[in-house]
């Protein structure tokens, strides 16, 4: 096959993928897609097709009716702009949970919040309302001892929305932007 023919086949494949509807791709602005490609080369945004129909059917109610379980949006820093959190398939073993804050210049500030072991189908992303949150491992009835780690707090009161990720039908990690950095608490399902 000639170089021109191989290039044409590759281009046709990309155009077909781009024209195929995908609930996750469609939730993310084009400028954010470009920022993801620049900051995480060789990785890809989670796809609706990564999840089986049964998980989508049971979880859709928690995602405002969307079939995408791996992308969420909310204004997490109170600036009136929509921010995003999403899963990125980094390789065959790891999934990254990434947050993107919208800037006044129309760009994105991406932060990798945690690395999850395994591929996207086992994980979800959602928004959390502002409020008071207590780490699952704080208190007398905690299932285990609270262990410090970078960004982890025992309690957090947020005036803005946050994001949560975790295993489907499992506990999750709630992340909040406090104006300068991301903090998190573990929550039960």
8 found inside a domain: no
Q: Which H or E element spans position 140?
A: none
Q: Which two tokens stand for residue 132?
A: 């008071």
Cβ-based neighbour number of residue 36 at 10 Å: 21
Write the DSSP assignment of 148-172 as a string of letters: --TTB-SEEEESS-EEEEEETTS-E
Give the predicted TM-score (pTM) of the model.
Answer: 0.84
Total domains in the chain come to 1
- At residue 143, the pLDDT reads 82
79 found inside a domain: yes
- At residue 31, the pLDDT reads 95
- Judge contact between 46 and 124, C-beta under 8 A: no
162 found inside a domain: yes
- At residue 189, the pLDDT reads 59
Q: Which two tokens stand for residue 44?
A: 């890809």
CA distances from 75 to 25, 35, 78, 129 (A): 19, 19, 6, 10
Closest residue by Cα to residue 179 from 101, 113, 108: 101
- At residue 17, the pLDDT reads 47
76 found inside a domain: yes
Which residue segment(s) compose the domain that 27 sits in? 22-187
62 found inside a domain: yes
- At residue 7, the pLDDT reads 38
Q: Which two tokens stand for residue 57?
A: 């059917």
12 found inside a domain: no
70 found inside a domain: yes
50 found inside a domain: yes
pLDDT in tens, the chain (189 residues): 544 444 344 334 344 445 578 999 999 999 999 999 999 998 999 999 998 888 888 888 788 778 899 999 999 999 999 999 999 988 778 899 999 999 988 899 999 999 988 777 889 999 999 999 999 999 877 888 888 899 999 999 999 999 999 988 888 999 999 999 999 999 975
Burial zone of 85 (CB within 10 Å; 0-12 exposed, 13-18 middle, 19+ buried)? buried
């Amino acid at each position: 096959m000639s170089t021109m023919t191989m290039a044409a086949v590759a281009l046709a494949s990309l155009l077909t993928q781009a024209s195929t509807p995908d609930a996750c791709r469609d939730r993310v602005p084009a400028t954010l897609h470009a920022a993801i490609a620049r900051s995480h080369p060789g990785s890809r945004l989670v796809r609706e097709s990564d999840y089986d129909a049964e998980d989508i059917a049971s979880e859709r109610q928690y995602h405002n009716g969307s079939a995408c379980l791996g992308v969420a949006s909310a204004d997490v820093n109170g600036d009136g702009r929509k921010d995003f959190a999403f899963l990125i398939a980094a390789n065959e073993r790891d999934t990254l949970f990434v947050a993107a804050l919208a800037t006044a210049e129309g760009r994105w500030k991406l932060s990798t919040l945690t690395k999850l072991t395994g591929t996207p189908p086992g994980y979800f992303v959602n928004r959390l309302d502002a409020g008071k949150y207590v780490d699952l491992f704080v208190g007398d009835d905690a299932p285990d001892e609270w262990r410090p780690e970078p960004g982890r707090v025992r309690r957090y009161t947020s005036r803005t929305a946050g994001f949560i990720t975790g295993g489907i039908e499992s506990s999750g990690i709630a992340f909040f932007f406090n104006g300068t950095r991301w903090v998190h608490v573990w929550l039960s399902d």
